[in-house]
Structure 1
């Protein structure tokens, strides 16, 4: 497990100048010189029995196999953790029915770092934050927060900035196919944006990842998020982020634009082949897409070593579908 006490300190938005605290990875392989982790979005089951979908179950099973075979130090869970209206309280049985009883592989008994999606904001996000005190592997210290890691046996570092894109851009009703209509609180949105800009400007990490729920670029049902194109993308470019990770659209996508990798990994519970926004992304930016139901769902495995980030898209049927490599930041 990890030492997470300091994480709760750096998560608070008021503490803008707190020096980055590094999370110590527990590794049994003394020769390893990389960090490995899984990324899954939109994995949140169903509100009625059996509380999970066949895709969630298949994806959870393959995540366990992948973590066992390729290794995983932690999981990033990128929102829509509980369909369709989040959870009501920290005692909500959905924590057991859709999370604890599903991701049961020993290899997944590792820290999960969580952010909220639009469906989570239809319920009680604070209850999900509070659940961090209940489950030893559930880590959700605040709506947005910073993770810092040292790559084993190297002087290289990895920073992941976890965002709440719903607080930043507003909520959306998927059943009405809405776009985010603007933040509920502009003060809260601007505070998060200032926090993000300060963290990115200060970062000297060799690899800088930003993760949230809504996509910047997507060719699928929801398409590009105008708010993030306006408010987030300029920061990603200016501060040379390595990649942006998200879900929201229920498929797997990889786009590359202005040297930044855009990973859509929202295939944890449903699959959607929709490509209605294929002409709304920059020309030649799309490198990979699948929304086929026959994949049974999917996720990404990432590995960071001294020189590169390797992103592997994996289908729940048990094979890798696409691999992308991004270099360390040129600062």
Structure 2
């Protein structure tokens, strides 16, 4: 009887973390086109004292609004560290207004923001960020990890984005003491997320399959590759033919390509870091693009997913694109 009860409880717990699959509505704007477009920005979370915003965040927000207006954007992927330095403490925190609502004010950015948590968010109350989804028309953070599914308009093709909590998976990291995650706080939660992820990847028939988290799998910068993700996530990305992995954590822009998977680091939303101390810790020849120069004023990624390819463009906040790459749709044996 006790064993049965435990089994029931364990089976019930994932409901709190994962989110049921449903295709997202792109609205009327999708009627006459054949692509999905989105922005990806990480580490954008301002500062916890007046004016609650950095020059990089302000410049990046402005350029995001222009690119969204000119190139189109259906949604934004917010890749964690949404509120520096210790997240928020409640759903009523003024930081939601000071660092989010009052910064990304352009009409072109009044679109869904799909949010995941970073290590600084986990220093506060992540549940409060999840709960804010009920108070904001554009903030979408349904659970710690979840899946997004889209029909690419008028093509018969699909896009899936799996949003992960890499802090729950690998452990938190204190950037001021020790920058490496040392293992999950709760091994059961970590394993449950990993099982959920593997099931989603295994059954996905999406033409484009993206996975997003805060920590990088590969990075040449300060934090470098995340050992836990190299061990637990990278083999799954390769096995299930993922199109790309998107992340932040290192405060710059990077594109690394390895074993058929594109690794997109977009962590330049609030600070910039030119550090390349881990350049030799990624596979030789895999780095296709890197910048963390202060002169860029910040940066982000614009992606367009069409019938048969995904076009990824890295933008600097100064107003020009820096690098562009094209990823192919998945092929099944």
Q: Work out whether the TM-score is over 0.5.
A: yes
Aligned-pair distance for 1:17? 11
Distance 1:13 1:89 in 2: 23
Q: How many residues align?
A: 320
Equivalent residue number for residue 281 of structure 1? 282
Equivalent residue number for residue 229 of structure 1? 230
Identify unmatched segments of 5+ residues in structure 1: 1-11
Equivalent residue number for residue 212 of structure 1? 213
Name the SS of the counterpart of 1:175 in structure 2. coil
Equivalent residue number for residue 36 of structure 1? 37
Distance 1:36 1:115 in 2: 19
Distance 1:87 1:77 in 2: 16
Are the structure 2 counterparts of residues 44 and 274 from structure 1 closer, same or farther at C-alpha, using a change threshold of 3 Å?
same
TM-score by length of 1: 0.95
| Residue 303, structure 1, aligned to residue 304, structure 2 | yes
Alpha-carbon displacement from aligned partner over 1:230-278 (angstroms, at most 9, x marks no partner): 0000000000000000000000000000010000000000000000000
| Residue 249, structure 1, aligned to residue 250, structure 2 | yes
Distance 1:275 1:16 in 2: 35
Distance 1:203 1:30 in 2: 25
Identify unmatched segments of 5+ residues in structure 2: 1-12
Name the SS of the counterpart of 1:129 in structure 2. helix
TM-score by length of 2: 0.94
Equivalent residue number for residue 62 of structure 2? 61
Equivalent residue number for residue 145 of structure 2? 144
Distance 1:278 1:326 in 2: 23
- Greater C-alpha Rg: 2
Which portions of structure 1, spanning 4 or more consecutive aligned residues, are displaced by more than 3 angstroms?
12-20
Equivalent residue number for residue 135 of structure 2? 134
Alpha-carbon displacement from aligned partner over 1:89-129 (angstroms, at most 9, x marks no partner): 00000000000000000000000000000000000000000
Contact 1:150/1:158, CA 8 A, preserved across alignment? yes
Aligned-pair distance for 1:31? 2.2
Are the structure 2 counterparts of residues 89 and 149 from structure 1 closer, same or farther at C-alpha, using a change threshold of 3 Å?
same
RMSD of Structure 2 on Structure 1 (CA): 1.5
Equivalent residue number for residue 291 of structure 2? 290
Are the structure 2 counterparts of residues 49 and 17 from structure 1 closer, same or farther at C-alpha, using a change threshold of 3 Å?
closer
Distance 1:159 1:48 in 2: 37
Equivalent residue number for residue 7 of structure 1? none
Contact 1:177/1:222, CA 8 A, preserved across alignment? no
Are the structure 2 counterparts of residues 229 and 317 from structure 1 closer, same or farther at C-alpha, using a change threshold of 3 Å?
same
Distance 1:268 1:260 in 2: 24
